[in-house]
Structure 1
Amino acid sequence: MYNRDVTKIYNMKRHIDTRRRLRKNMTVAELILWTALKNNKLGLRFRRQYGVKAFVLDFYCPARKLAVEVDGGIHQTDRQSALDKDRQRIIENLDIKFLRFTNEQIKHNLTAVLKSIKDSLSN
């Protein structure tokens, strides 16, 4: 049976412009990771800039409820780190698994990043 409440959580219409803008202005690390994830390259579909509640996830695999976030330098500040932790807690309370990678991890060790994602998809 279709659950109408899903539309209240995922990809809310009021965030459509934000999601489009973020898709058009991806960072280098996000582009690298998206190239490795798109077109079911890991065996499952990923969406980019996917809305969950009031947040936009960098990447999301709906079939496994797996969020993948790419953290640039701003995420290392105390303020942003605290906001990220709160955001992650809220999203994890929806039974969504969460992975975080830095720009540097993606740029310099994409193989390990993809292995971590694959491992999470199979759990």
Structure 2
Amino acid sequence: MPVLPYNADNVKFAKALRKNMTPEERKLWFCFLRKHIPKFVRQKPIDNYIVDFYCQARKIAVEIDGSQHYDIKGADYDTKRTDILNNYGIKVIRFSNREINQQFKEVCTVIEQCLHE
């Protein structure tokens, strides 16, 4: 499988993010993705971005969006970022913090469905 390009400057930041996950990232990682097959990794640098969770085998990025993603600037940034990731053949699926906290089972079901498409 070809190696995705990444900004080397983001590697140190990605390691820090792994150590300081949000509560919603922790929940999704420790309650579902950590031992999932196919394998997911946390805080994966791709291009000039860092995706929350990435499954290389299926080319799926899972993003958990906090409140900063819902203003105009955040939404524009996410659209651009998603377009760039899509150009690498990566499918991006997004969930809000609220969905992780209140609809966790449904979130896991959506991820499973995307993995089997």
TM-score, scaled relative to structure 2:
0.93
Q: CA deviation at 1:13?
A: 3.0
Root mean square deviation, CA, Å: 1.4
The answer on 1:79 being equivalent to 2:68 is no
Residues in 2 aligned to 1:16 and 1:95: alpha-carbon distance in whole angstroms: 22
Matches within 5 A, 1:1-123: 6=3, 9-10=5-6, 12-35=7-30, 36-40=32-36, 43-123=37-117
Aligned partner of 1:122: which letter?
Answer: H
Question: Is there any run of 5+ residues in structure 1 with no aligned partner, and where?
Answer: none
The list of structure 1 runs, each at least 4 consecutive aligned residues, that deviate by more than 6 angstroms after superposition, is none
Q: CA deviation at 1:52?
A: 0.7
Instruction: For structure 2, list consecutive stretches of 5 or more residues without a partner in the other structure.
Output: none
Alignment coverage as a number of residue pairs: 116
